[in-house]
Structure 1
Amino acid sequence: MADQEPDSGEKEFDATDAKQTQAREDGNVPQSKEANALALIVGILCAGGALQMTVGRTLFNDFSSLLYHADSFAGDVFGGGGGQTQQLLFGLLVQIGLLFLILAAVVVVSLVIQRAISFSFKKIALDMKKLSPVENLKKRYGPRGITDFLKDMVKLGFAVGIAIIFLAALAREYYASSAIEMGHFAGFTFSQAMKLILWFLAFQVVLAAIDLPLQRRLHDNRLKMSREEMKKEMKQSEGDPQLKQSRRQAASRITRGQMMQNVPTATVVMVNPQHYAVALKWDPDDDKAPVCVAKGMDHIAAKIREIAIASNVPIYRDPPSTRSIYRLVEVDEEIHPEHFAAVAAAINFVDRIRKHM
Structure 2
Amino acid sequence: MSDEDRSSKTEQPTDKKIRDTVEKGNLPVSREAPILASLLAAMAFLTFHVQDGSAQLLLALKSTMENPLQWELETGADGLHVLEMLAVQMGRFIMPATLLFAGAGILASLLQNPPQINFERIAPKASNVSLSSGFRRIFGLRGVTEFGKAMFKFVAIGVVVGSILVSGFPTMVKAMYADPVLMPELILQMAMKLLSGVSIATILLVAADIGLSRLHWKRDLMMSKQEIKDEAKQMEGDPMVKARQRQIARDRTRRRMMAEVPKATLVIANPTHYAIALRYVREEGGAPIVVAKGTDLLALKIREIAEANDVPVLEDKLLARSMYDHVEIDQMIPPQFFKAVAEIIYYLYTRSGTKMGVATA
Change (3 A) 1:222 1:19: same
Change (3 A) 1:67 1:140: farther
- The number of aligned residues is 242
Instruction: Give the structure 1 partner of residue 308 of structure 2.
Output: none
Instruction: Give the structure 2 partner of residue 122 of structure 1.
Output: 120
Aligned counterparts of 1:25 and 1:220: Cα–Cα separation in 2: 15
- How far residue 173 of structure 1 moved from its aligned partner, in angstroms, is 1.8
* Amino acid across the alignment from 1:34: E
Aligned counterparts of 1:239 and 1:55: Cα–Cα separation in 2: 66
Helix, strand or coil: the match of 2:10?
strand
- How far residue 72 of structure 1 moved from its aligned partner, in angstroms, is 8.2
Corresponding residue to 1:106 among 99, 104, 107: 104
1:27-63, CA deviations, whole angstroms, 9 ceiling, x for partnerless residues? Answer: 2110112322222211221222232354332234446
Helix, strand or coil: the match of 1:32?
coil
Q: Which runs of 5+ in 1 are unaligned?
A: 1-5, 241-319, 329-357
1:64-121, CA deviations, whole angstroms, 9 ceiling, x for partnerless residues? Answer: 6677788987948758343233122123124313212111111211111111644221
Aligned counterparts of 2:179 and 2:66: Cα–Cα separation in 1: 15
Helix, strand or coil: the match of 1:80?
helix
Corresponding residue to 1:231 among 223, 229, 232: 229
Instruction: Give the structure 2 partner of residue 156 of structure 1.
Output: 154
Aligned counterparts of 1:71 and 1:11: Cα–Cα separation in 2: 78
Aligned counterparts of 1:165 and 1:74: Cα–Cα separation in 2: 52
Change (3 A) 1:8 1:115: closer
1:316-348, CA deviations, whole angstroms, 9 ceiling, x for partnerless residues? Answer: xxxx9xx98xx79xxxxxxxxxxxxxxxxxxxx
The question of 1:59 aligning with 2:57 is answered yes
Instruction: Give the structure 2 partner of residue 220 of structure 1.
Output: 218
- How far residue 208 of structure 1 moved from its aligned partner, in angstroms, is 1.7
After TM superposition, the structure 1 = structure 2 runs for residues 195-206 of structure 1, keeping only pairs within 5 Å, are: 195-206=193-204
Corresponding residue to 1:143 among 141, 144, 163: 141
* Amino acid across the alignment from 2:87: L
**Bigger Rg, structure 1 or 2:** 2
Q: Is the 8 A contact 2:38 2:101 kept in 1?
A: yes
Q: Is the 8 A contact 2:149 2:205 kept in 1?
A: no
* Amino acid across the alignment from 1:215: S
Instruction: Give the structure 1 partner of residue 283 of structure 2.
Output: none
Q: Which has the higher contact order (CA 8 A, sep 6+)?
A: 1
Aligned counterparts of 1:185 and 1:68: Cα–Cα separation in 2: 23
Aligned counterparts of 1:8 and 1:176: Cα–Cα separation in 2: 61
* Amino acid across the alignment from 1:41: L
- How far residue 135 of structure 1 moved from its aligned partner, in angstroms, is 1.5
Q: Is the 8 A contact 1:29 1:219 kept in 2?
A: yes
Report the identity percentage. 24
* Amino acid across the alignment from 2:48: A
Aligned counterparts of 1:17 and 1:104: Cα–Cα separation in 2: 34
Aligned counterparts of 1:157 and 1:73: Cα–Cα separation in 2: 53
Instruction: Give the structure 1 partner of residue 80 of structure 2.
Output: 82
* Amino acid across the alignment from 1:210: A
Corresponding residue to 1:187 among 180, 185, 188: 185
- How far residue 9 of structure 1 moved from its aligned partner, in angstroms, is 7.2
Helix, strand or coil: the match of 2:124?
coil
Aligned counterparts of 2:214 and 2:189: Cα–Cα separation in 1: 37
The question of 1:39 aligning with 2:37 is answered yes
Q: Which runs of 5+ in 2 are unaligned?
A: 239-317, 327-361
Aligned counterparts of 2:124 and 2:132: Cα–Cα separation in 1: 17
The question of 1:173 aligning with 2:174 is answered no
Aligned counterparts of 1:208 and 1:168: Cα–Cα separation in 2: 26
Q: Is the 8 A contact 1:31 1:116 kept in 2?
A: no
Query: What is the root-mean-square deviation of aligned Cα atoms in Å?
Result: 3.5
- How far residue 174 of structure 1 moved from its aligned partner, in angstroms, is 2.1
Change (3 A) 1:185 1:8: closer
1:234-274, CA deviations, whole angstroms, 9 ceiling, x for partnerless residues? Answer: 2222249xxxxxxxxxxxxxxxxxxxxxxxxxxxxxxxxxx
Instruction: Give the structure 2 partner of residue 276 of structure 1.
Output: none
Instruction: Give the structure 2 partner of residue 22 of structure 1.
Output: 20
- How far residue 145 of structure 1 moved from its aligned partner, in angstroms, is 0.8
* Amino acid across the alignment from 1:224: M
